[in-house]
Amino acid sequence: MKIESLSRLRDAQQFSAASKYWNQSQLLRAFKLFLALARRGHASSQLAVGYFFDLGLGVRKSEAQALFWYRRSYRNGHASGASNIGTIYRDRGNIKRALEWFSRALKAGDDSSALEIAKIYVNVGDYLRAIKNVRLVVASDRVTEAETEEATTLLKKVLAEHKKSDKAGASRSKSRSHRSIRQTRKQKVRAG
């Protein structure tokens, strides 16, 4: 047990040092420390390595490597790994896979993924699902203040769009029912 505690302490110190280098824009030094930790199974470091590959920070950009490390991070309990995978698929235009990964992140405790899900549903015009997900973000205490503000703004937009689509749908329904009444009348007149 003492060896495990020392190992975790050493990992925490190494992670802290890597984060410090990253903040100081010493990207290659940060990457090397994160990578060493990631190879030992440190989920937060795996997420960081994925991010470095995803954006090409101090290393050659590689979506394949980013996905590899994000998946490892997710498997080791870091919900943000799933969210970042969802982002990659969303950016590729693969909405179905993006929704799958954002949903995994949400189930694993990343409430901010509900905001990404809501944005997708807004884009495809599914306002009821968008509202459901944006309300999750607004009600959550596990999202940033900026995400709460973005969700609140999106909720107002979605509710306005939903009202418009409801009104348009209602007037389309009225015109359809008026047409069918007229058609029925025509048929009765012709038959009579």
For the ranges 21-25, 172-176, 184-188, the one whose mean pLDDT is highest: 21-25
Supply the pTM of this predicted model. 0.83
Task: Work out the mean pLDDT of the chain and round it to a whole number.
Answer: 88
Which pairs with CB-CB distance under 8 Å and at least 24 residues apart come from 154-161? 154/115, 154/118, 154/119, 154/122, 154/130, 155/131, 157/122, 158/118, 158/122, 158/127, 158/130, 158/131, 158/134, 159/131, 161/122, 161/127
Report residue 192's pLDDT band, with 50, 70 and 90 as the boundaries. very low
pLDDT at 174 > cutoff 90: no
Q: Could you tell me the fold of the domain covering 1-84?
A: 1.25.40
Dihedral-angle region of residue 140 (phi above 0 means left; psi in -120 to 50 means alpha; beta otherwise): beta
Q: What is the pLDDT of residues 41-82, one digit of tens each?
A: 999 999 999 999 999 999 999 999 999 999 999 999 999 999
Domain boundaries defined on the chain: 1-84, 111-192
